[in-house]
Amino acid sequence: MNKFLLPLLLSALVWLSACSEKDTREQAQIGNPVDQVELSSQIMTPEALWSFGRISGVRVSPDDKQILFSSSFYDVEGNSGNGELFIMPVDGGEAVNITNTEGSEYNARWRPDGEKIGYLSGQSGSTQLWEMNPDGSGKSQISGIEGGINGFEYAPNQEKILYIKQVKLDKNVQDIHPDLPKANARIETDLMYRHWDEWHNYKYSHVFVADYDGSQVTNPVDIMEGEKYHAPLEPFGGMGQINWSPDSKQITYTSKKLTGKEYTLSTNSEIYIYDLESGETTNMTREQHEGYDQSAVYSPDGKMIAWESMRRDGYEADKNRIFVRNLETGEETNFSEGFEQNAHGLTWSDDGKKLYFTSDWHARFQIYQLNIETGDIRQITEGIHNYRSVEPAGDLLVGSRQSMSQPTEIYSIEPSTGKETQLSFINKNLMDQLRMGEVEKRWIETTDGKEMLTWVIYPPNFDKNKEYPTLLYCQGGPQSSVSQFFSYRWNFQMMAANGYIVVAPNRRGLPSFGMDWLEQISGDYAGQNIQDYLSAIDALKKEPYVDENHLGAVGASYGGYSIYYLAGHHDDRFKALISHDGMFNLESFYLQTEEMWFPNWDLGGPYWKEENQEVYEQSPHLFVDKWDTPIMVIHGQKDYRIAYTQSMSAFNAAQLRDIPSKFLFFPNENHWVLQPQNGMLWQREFFKWLDKWLKE
């Protein structure tokens, strides 16, 4: 469930724009719409939040001189979006918009010779592979694959490409009953008939390899032909889980080759290697790797392969370790022994002697370096921010970075010193108009005598001589860090701009503070972690500038569970509550969710087993008789991880008990809120509720 509150899903948007700076720090005007955006207020508003450009897909050119990236913007009025492609020099300079279309361009890649950029576009009616020159000229469609494709990679020798597409292998009602073409039904005989926000569409994502002659794609071969498995992993696995060997003779991909009930009970994904010459597929991680294994990358000489690995099956929040296999000897090395942190986004140095990756520690993601020969791991960057990616660029590294006070921008980093230089300035025009609140790091003592890192975000123009209503933020996951993320929904600067102090504790159960801290929550949802929440708000309410008579608590997913539980146990601390996509009745949740391995690990298993009764006794619905606080509940109908009936039940309970309550329901949203106008509505109703009970 860490993916519950993953900070962003970078969807396509409609405005085009870029704003960058030269080395002189003089603003380079590109002349796109966002450059002319003028805000009506100098503090964060929903309109400002939805005007930010969102950077993704950062790629360094083969000669290490140029950076290719995507920047996306939303059109709230049109309730739609568009993403465009840009290039800029690694050593700093102007960002140039190289696409300008009504549709989105994405999955952009440098061709290995650097003379072309390949990308996906749906402008021809289905998503196909296009190419252009690095300056944006000479655009041409080079694939015409029936049904379109969802991702691609060039082979290093440029003689082939691989791509992924959906393949229909299961029968629907019309296949079974062809004489009933208008029948609208499903026939299910096994589990995993729906996942995250989609019902199974009778199709599977497969990896294909095809010939490429520099102008067209031909002779595709499904390397997973007939297999009812997905690659990459659904729903969030991307092209980083599929890679070429340097000699273009092999493809490595991640898949969980299980079906139905077995699939929903396990996290055991494997790394597979497909040999183009023999057509044979080998499971590289079959032995002694029982949890998630994914995102394998070959060393530049092709002699080693590195990947991310979790040890325990059924536990998605296990430590994400670095494994390297010597392909000549078969020897495997776990480089994470003694390193009590996660590793994400492995990438090799050009000489194959080092691996770079990002890792979270004390609620911040930094860039790290692993020396393959010695096994030493060294932290490169410092600061109150999150790095989301890293890639070598000659003597430098290129990374994308964000914080609670800044959306993602691109930086160059000197590996030896950690010196950072901002390269992209996509949001400079907007950022120059906004006043951000101070973000303070505090260590607060918990009820069991430990120290807990808590972020405190103050309103812009904070005056310590005034009193402010204050919000306790309850994180979801339940095991995802309250790090320096910039959220487009749970945006702390937005909350602060509305006149609230925000208290965001890294309570028990969150990563980057050691495995003991992380794992305390499993099987104990209402235990020490709930006390940690109360420790944080109790510490802050002692401050003279906190109005202890106007405290609120908000949260989503497990954070939503926390709100429902606190509603019956907060001892009159809070005057307003908001729960988004929360678990209200743990028994019904167990039988309504889709990936069963999650409640089996976190709740111990089904509620009908006697040994699990203690955790199910922590279900919030059992304490509704103690509710007395105004509560707003929010949910999306397409949320299949936590069904919307959980929030409906909570709202009905509050109504029947005559507790002031509101239900905000989104028929077309999932566990998040992704559509522009829905997002604006969410912000308006969120603060309307808080203001009513904490300010009036």
Catalytic residues: 557, 639, 671
Contact 370, 354 (CB under 8 A): yes
Contact 380, 366 (CB under 8 A): yes
Cα 163 to Cα 209: distance, rounded to the nearest angstrom: 6
Cα 191 to Cα 599: distance, rounded to the nearest angstrom: 15
DSSP string, 59-77: EE-TTSSEEEEEEEEEETT
What values do phi and psi take at 517, rounded to 5? -65, -45
DSSP string, 181-248: TT------SSS-SEETTEE--SEEEEEEEEEE-SS-EEEEEETTTT----SS-TTT--GGGEEE-TTS
Contact 560, 583 (CB under 8 A): yes
Number of H helices, E strands in the chain: 13, 40
Where b means 16+ CB within 10 Å and e means fewer, 603-618 reads bbbebeeeebeebbeb
CB atoms within 10 A of CB 594: 16
Where b means 16+ CB within 10 Å and e means fewer, 498-522 reads bbbbbbbbbbbbbbbbeeebbbbbb
The residue assigned the tokens 């294994």 is 293
Cα 634 to Cα 272: distance, rounded to the nearest angstrom: 41
Find the helix or strand (DSSP H, E) in which 347 lies. Answer: strand 344-348
Contact 208, 222 (CB under 8 A): yes
3 state SS of 472: strand
Cα 316 to Cα 269: distance, rounded to the nearest angstrom: 11
Contact 217, 130 (CB under 8 A): no
Cα 584 to Cα 564: distance, rounded to the nearest angstrom: 6
Strand partners, 80: 75
Q: What would the two tokens of residue 446 be? A: 């918990």
Which of 349, 345, 340, 395 has the alpha carbon at shortest distance from 372? Answer: 349
Which of 375, 394, 283 has the alpha carbon at shortest distance from 321? Answer: 375
Contact 285, 271 (CB under 8 A): yes
Cα 90 to Cα 115: distance, rounded to the nearest angstrom: 17
Q: Of all residues in the chain, what percent are helix, strand and coil, respectively (each to 5)?
A: 20, 35, 50
